[in-house]
Amino acid sequence: MKRALPDLTVDQPAAGEKVTLVLHADGKQYDLPVLGGTHGPKVIDVRRLYAETGYLTYDPGFMSTANCDSALTFIDGERGILLHRGYAIEDLAAHADFLEVCYLLLYGKLPTQSELGDFGHVIGHHNMVHEQFRRFFEGFRRDAPPMAVMVGTVGALSAFYHDQIDITDTEARMVATHRLVAKMPTICAMAFQYSRGQPFLYPRNDLGYVPNFLRMAFGVPVEEYVVNPVLERAINRFLVLHADHEQNASTSTVRIAGSSRANPYACVAAGIAALWGPDHGGANEAVVNMLEEIGSKDRIPLYIKRAKDRSDPFRLTGFGHRVYKNYDPRAAILRESCHEVLGELGKKDEPLFELALELERIALDDDYFVQRKLFPNVDFYSGIMLRAIGFPTTMFPPLFALARTIGWIAQWKEMIEAPDQHIARPRQRYTGHPIRPYVPLAER
């Protein structure tokens, strides 16, 4: 059955029509062009503002700043809508294989059967890592967080390909994107196996992207690993739901790093670092820790009270989002996945899930959360599902990084290929000491 598409039409400037915003400053008037996109808010083009007026715009945290043109992902945060290349996330999560979504983000269209087969073949033939690469892992303490291992080892990929990257070459750029998508499951699984003292497994090309990853993560060389189709579907969904998300902190980091023409492997390592924090990709780990700390339903009111208290640093992790002021569509899908996975594993009464459902119910009934439009975000339920599948909390951010690699690298490619690409160089409002004379050391 076909879903009705939401009406996202906005009041756009007509082709050729010049819409301007008038700015009065220092007795003069300046006309700032206003540009429309396909959907979403119009933007004021301030690129000439400083040259023409001597004023900068001021926007810490990029609350009102569009940093680029992008044709990859659209979010309507007020209405809880997320589209990749025009396709709704609900449809992609229900029907698409992760590699289909990778293809869609990279090439701009859904693949045909044969295009998907060829793409899978190319990815399959880039999924091994150099034998020397394995030694990087041995340099880490065995209790190193897998995310720390990911930052280091993905960055180290640039040492293996530095002489093969000509980022001005279209083909070389595409090969780099394929390599990253292909090698990330191998590296992520190696980081996990290393943290458990288990041997690394080579990828197998008779398996699809997700089964291959599950085998490398959970398999052992001494016996066959049988992939559970329900868990495969859940991980596929997790990857699809995290594939890209517009200009978030880690994606912007990748774009900024790449704007200096740094190699893409180093840029993605920078993205992994930005993803790590508890306000971004570390949030699903923090949610599980928080639920464990709350411990039981009768303690929820205490934590709700703490979350609302400005003098208490505690926040309800997994709630709230810079862009979504409505239910994050990804959270709703992951809540369903939790039901499926827990049912399959005979853990229907998983106490952490029960606690999360109750916390959501109580928070969404509370004026504080309603007024601030704080809803569960993608991280609220994902950790519960990943933990049930067998991943420890320290693996949650690496799994997010595995999924987001396609978004990072597709955005990097889009940025490099943009006709007006410049090095990203924000300015500042200087609030330091006024100019003063240097005082020689002996006179201080």
Which residues would be at the binding site for ligand ACO (CB under 6 A)? 279-280, 283, 307, 315-322, 372, 374, 377-379
- Tell me the residue number closest to ligand ACO, measured at CB: 320
- Using alpha carbons, list the distances in angstroms from residue 433 to 15, 60, 396: 49, 20, 43
CA nearest 65: which of 286, 285, 268, 256?
256
Provide the β-strand partners of residue 21: 32
Which of the following is catalytic: 379, 420, 422, 433? 379
CA nearest 3: which of 88, 82, 84?
88
What is the distance between the alpha carbons of residues 364 and 367, in angstroms, rounded to a whole number? Answer: 8
Mapping DSSP to helix (H, G, I), strand (E, B) and coil, where does residue 75 land?
strand
**What's the min distance (Å) between Cβ of 280 and ligand ACO?**
4
Residue pair 189/134 in contact (Cβ under 8 Å)? The answer is no
Nearer to ligand ACO, 90 or 115 (CB): 90
What is the distance between the alpha carbons of residues 231 and 271, in angstroms, rounded to a whole number? Answer: 27
Residue pair 380/225 in contact (Cβ under 8 Å)? The answer is no
Burial 26-64 (b: 16+ CB within 10 A, else e): eeeebebeeebeebeebebebeebeeeeeeeeeeeeeee
Neighbour count for residue 105 (Cβ, 10 Å): 23
C-alpha 159 chain-centroid distance: 25
**What's the min distance (Å) between Cβ of 162 and ligand ACO?**
31
Nearer to ligand ACO, 215 or 255 (CB): 255
CA 332-336-337 angle, to 5 degrees, is 115
Nearer to ligand ACO, 98 or 319 (CB): 319
**What's the min distance (Å) between Cβ of 271 and ligand ACO?**
13
**What's the min distance (Å) between Cβ of 318 and ligand ACO?**
5
Residue pair 235/228 in contact (Cβ under 8 Å)? The answer is no
**What's the min distance (Å) between Cβ of 362 and ligand ACO?**
13
What is the distance between the alpha carbons of residues 367 and 303, in angstroms, rounded to a whole number? Answer: 15
**What's the min distance (Å) between Cβ of 282 and ligand ACO?**
8
C-alpha 268 chain-centroid distance: 11
The question of whether 7 is a catalytic residue gets the answer no
DSSP state of 221: T
Which of the following is catalytic: 76, 97, 321, 328? 321
The question of whether 126 is a catalytic residue gets the answer no
Nearer to ligand ACO, 136 or 375 (CB): 375
Nearer to ligand ACO, 119 or 396 (CB): 396
**What's the min distance (Å) between Cβ of 164 and ligand ACO?**
33
Nearer to ligand ACO, 193 or 317 (CB): 317
Nearer to ligand ACO, 129 or 352 (CB): 352
Nearer to ligand ACO, 136 or 303 (CB): 303
**What's the min distance (Å) between Cβ of 157 and ligand ACO?**
24
Torsion of CA 363, 240, 352, 184, to 10 degrees: -130
Q: Which residues, 6 or more positions from 332, have their beta carbon under 8 angstroms from its beta carbon?
A: none
Active-site annotation, residues: 321, 379
